[in-house]
Structure 1
Amino acid sequence: MFAPFIILICNHLDQRQFNRLRSKLIGLHAQTITDFCHIFSIDDTTRQHLIRMARYNGKRLGLLA
């Protein structure tokens, strides 16, 4: 679904820039999940599960192409 967009961005950036951008975005997403869990007092085990689920869904949807 998103793979063509990700590949297009990858083609315009060199591999090092792309990996840097990708890692920043993944980190921001994980921090957003952590902030959400702190706001709603969700335990760390569930937070880790949510982050793993986000990674799995990202692979499935083509976000980690």
Structure 2
Amino acid sequence: MATSISAVKGAGLCSSFHGGWGTSMMGEEQLLLARSVPTRVRFSTKPVRLQPMMKNINEGKGLFAPVVVFTRNIIGKKRFNQLRGKAIALHSQVITEFCKSIGADAKQRQGLIRLAKKNGERLGFLA
């Protein structure tokens, strides 16, 4: 089934393109474009890695958050994180001793530690 050109034009499917497929740039324009494009692309030897964002979702919320933030600003972030780490370790030891005294197993102890962390976040201790 052959379709004639006049039938295609009559159907409204004709194109407004009347040029050739060759380049429209000649001489100086082509040289200027060629000079503006870098011939070498340099890659850094070390890939750039994004730092993971590990922020507390309750940052600044909770009853004790203002006190925690104030203390961190007074003594400095490094020293504050050291003290917080020691406090968390002591609290975990207290939970462990409590679990030993009532005969709770390791799974229950881990559950209590997770509960303590969630409560600390809600109260603002981890702000």
| TM-score range normalised by the length of the shorter chain | over 0.9
Q: Which has the larger radius of gyration?
A: 2
| Superimposed CA distance per residue, residues 9-59 of structure 1 (whole angstroms, 9 cap, x where no aligned partner) | 101111110000000001110110000001111111000000000001111
The aligned residue for residue 126 of structure 2 is 64
Kindly state the Cα deviation for residue 6 of structure 1 after the two structures are TM-superposed: 0.4
**How many residues in Structure 1 have an aligned counterpart in Structure 2?**
65
Question: Do structure 1's residue 24 and structure 2's residue 69 form an aligned pair?
Answer: no
Q: Which runs of 5+ in 2 are unaligned?
A: 1-62
User: Looking at both structures, which has the greater relative contact order when contacts are Cα pairs under 8 Å and sequence separation is at least 6?
Assistant: 1
Q: Sequence identity of aligned pairs in percent? A: 48
CA distance in 1, matches of 2:91, 2:70: 21
Q: Greater share of helix residues, 1 or 2?
A: 1
Q: Which runs of 5+ in 1 are unaligned?
A: none
The aligned residue for residue 107 of structure 2 is 45
Aligned CA-pair RMSD: 0.6
TM-score (norm 1): 0.96
TM-score (norm 2): 0.50
The aligned residue for residue 40 of structure 2 is none
Question: Do structure 1's residue 7 and structure 2's residue 69 form an aligned pair?
Answer: yes
